[in-house]
Structures are given as C-alpha cells and as structure tokens.
Structure 1
Amino acid sequence: MSTSDPFYASASTDQVAQEMLGMLLTYQSPKGLVGGWIVETEAYLGQLDSAAHAFKGRRTASNEPLYGPPGTVYIYSIHGRYLLDVAAQAKDVPQGVLIRAVEPFIGKEIMLKNRAKTGFDLTNGPGKLMEAFGISDKKMNFEIFGDNSKLDIHKHRKKIPQMIETSNRIGVSNQGDWAGKPLRYFVKGNPFVSGMKKRDMDLDHFGWR
C-alpha cells in the first residue's frame, strides 16, 4: 500500500475496515517474513468518536501518526501490549483502523517461537498478533505500509469472506456514547477472531468463500 492508493482516498474509515478483511498483512521481521490474513478490524472515527485516540481533536506525540497521510503505521501500547493501527484518511484527518486479528499464513514457525502458543490463541487478538510477529516497540511509527516499511498490507492478495459480522468494539465500554457503535468487523466463523466461541467456528472453510 502507499499514500497514493485509492483504497484509502475513496472510502470512509468504516468501509476501509471492512475492505481490509481478507487482505494479507506481512512483516519482514529479523527472523524472517511473517504474515496472515486479516480477520478482524475496528474503525475509529477521529474527533467525534468518544472511543478514539483523537477524540475532541486530541493531538499528542503518541498519537501523531494518526494525523499522518493514509497508510501511516500507528503502533501504540496498552497494558504493556503493542497494537497495530493504520491511518485511513487524508493527512490531518485522524481516523484509523485497528488490526485486531489475523489467520497465520506465512512464517507460522517463527510466530510459534515468538509467542510459545499454539492453535487459534496464536494470533486471535491485537496484542497476540504483534507478539507473534515479534513487534515490541514503536520504531515503525510514521512509516507508510508497503512504501518505506517492513510492514505491508497487500490489497491484491486477498481472501473473500463468506460473511462479515459487526459488533461493538472491544475494550472501550467506558469510552462514552460511541462505545456501543457497531464499528468492529470480522470474518464470520473464522476461528482466529478474538473471542470466537467454539460453537460459532467454521472449521471447514474458516469463513472464506
């Protein structure tokens, strides 16, 4: 992806969050290439969104990447875990998409060593996928996915979900009026979606067409 990618320019942030489902996220780690299909995202809609880091125009050194051009890497930490976000709109429009979970595809052996977990628990959450990828700092902040970064979102390497489900976002229940808005999107039935109950898992097709 790059700043000229029309994927960002022509879509609202909630549309971007849905379009990203099924795209391949990769990271050229020191141990080798790792990657997975994006199965869960959340949209954060900037100044008006009470759950967003830029609510009411908040602008700090830590959330400055959100104000960057579309495709800017925004890594932040919560409770000691690192999370991966991508700026989704024009420069100075601080809206972003949190990548919450991936289905491992490339370098699974590396991920297993990084996290010492097996099964769906390997990457079924935003902090888990970062740990599995081996990302434990914010050094890539302000880079552009796919341009000058070891991180990339491959728009044209994509699996197609059978169905996209929506829900309220996770972990923001105390964040005001927007906490309950359905801005979390995930591949229905994919077992790598965070909190996916076993009875809801599609173990035959993982929710893909």
Structure 2
Amino acid sequence: MKDFLNNIVPLPDSFFEQPTLELAKALLGCILVKETNEGITAGYIVETEAYIGPDDRAAHSYNNKRTPRTEVMFHRSGLAYTYLMHTHCLFNVVSGGEEKPEAVLVRALEPLNGIDFMKTRRGVEDLTRLTNGPGKLTKSLGITMEDYGHSLTIPPLYLAEGYRPESISAGKRIGIENSGEAREYPWRFWVTNNKFVSRHQKAEHVFY
C-alpha cells in the first residue's frame, strides 16, 4: 500500500486559487486520496459540480448564508467542505477565496487504489458502482464529517496530480430542481464517456 504513495504528488495550495468554474474542470483527472488505519484508498475524479454562492440559488451559501455548516466556505480555498445529505456524507472542495463562499462538489471517482477496502465498505463487487455517486465515493474512501475543514494538500485527505482528460463534457447539475434558474446552469462537468460518472446525459458543451 505504501508503494502507491511513492508516485503521488500532492497538489499545492496555489492550484485551488483558480476561479470555481475553472477549478471544477481542473479537478477532473486529479487523484483524491484518503489514508485511514485500514489502509489507503484513492480514485481519479471524473465528475464535479460547481456552486457559486451567494448568487447561486442552488448553493448552500446563497445570499451569503453563514451557518455552522457553511462556515468553512467563507475561508480560504483548498479546504474540505463535508456535509450530510440524508444519511450520506458528501465531499466538496472549498473555492472562491476568503469571504467568497463557493465550492466544487465531487460527484464520482474512478477507483484507483484500495479497491478491496472500497468493496468491503460498500458491500458491492461491481467496480462501476463503487464510487459513481457523491455518497458512494465518500463511503468507499472513508471520508466522514471529521474531515470538515481539513486542508486538501496534506494527509489524511488530499488531492494529487493525476491525468489531463482528453475531453470534458458539461451539462446541468443534478438534484437541484427547486433552485429556480440555477437548475439550468451547465455547471456539472465530467470526463467524456467515462463509465464511472454518476449519470449519463447529453452534453451541452464539450471542452478540448
């Protein structure tokens, strides 16, 4: 397991300082790593969604809403924003910079390391179903609410250099039906034709 880390290069703080929409695309192909006492799990990010508060009605920080849950969004970029949705913990990357509460939700991963741990945690054998959703990937990697506010440049939860996708697709975000015009924004991004994305839909835009 430790051999896996020999080829891992954590991303610097400066990586997270780009505009949120650009960061949401730049995260695709990056490696999300979680180290626990059980072992090391990791996967390539293949799907993200951008949330740009306070003008984005789909964002938790809409209208600069500052609560114990959203507090970390008002801090520097590159921190972990975890929150509970029903019984699932969801993982976001804080963006936008100080006092600009924005974030990128990581929606799906392509499993890379510690796959046996992932299967045990999820009780699933099908590789394509292990991490193809925001709640599935956190359970597979062991990401919890204890990771809230953690810097994503250092263990135990961090992002590392991966690969540059040949093509990136964009479309409407998922599960935000009651957010007015914001539900139409094409701020969901995914690695084109990747079989691990959470939902396949026709792309409104294709990059590269």
The normalised TM-score by structure 2 is 0.88
Structure 2 equivalent of residue 152 of structure 1: 158
* 2:127 equivalent among 119, 124, 133: 119
Gaps in structure 2 of 5+ consecutive residues? 1-9, 203-208
Q: CA RMSD in A?
A: 1.6
- Other structure's SS at 1:85 match: strand
Give distance in 2, aligned partners of 1:145 and 1:45: 20
Match of 2:53 in 1: 46
Cα deviation for residue 192 of structure 1 reads 0.5
Deviations along 1:155-182, one digit per CA (max 9) or x if unpaired, are xx22121210001111002112111100
Q: Does residue 106 in structure 1 map to residue 118 in structure 2?
A: no
Residues 68 and 142 of structure 1 are in contact (CA less than 8 Å); yes or no, is this contact kept in structure 2?
Answer: no
Partner of 2:93: 86
C-alpha separation between the residues in 1 aligned to 2:48 and 2:140?
17
What's the secondary structure of 1:127's corresponding residue? helix
Aligned twin of 1:140: 147
Whole-angstrom CA distance in 2 between matches of 1:78 and 1:103:
22
The one-letter code matched in structure 2 to 1:151 is: L
Tell me, in whole angstroms, the C-alpha distance in 1 between the residues paired with 2:23 and 2:69.
23
The one of 151, 171, 175 equivalent to 2:179 is 175
Answer yes or no: is 1:186 the counterpart of 2:194. Answer: no
- Residue type matched to 2:200 in 1? M
Over 3 Å off, 4+ runs: none
Judge conservation of contact 1:25–1:152 (CA < 8 Å) in 2: yes
Letter in 1 for 2:21: D
| Aligned residue pair count | 192
Query: Structure 1-normalised TM-score?
Result: 0.87
Q: Percent identity?
A: 34
Equivalent residue for 1:130, pick from 100, 118, 138: 138
User: What residue ranges of structure 1 are gaps of 5+ in the alignment?
Assistant: 201-209
1:13-60 deviation line (CA, Å, top 9, x unaligned): 000000000001100022100000000000000100000000001010
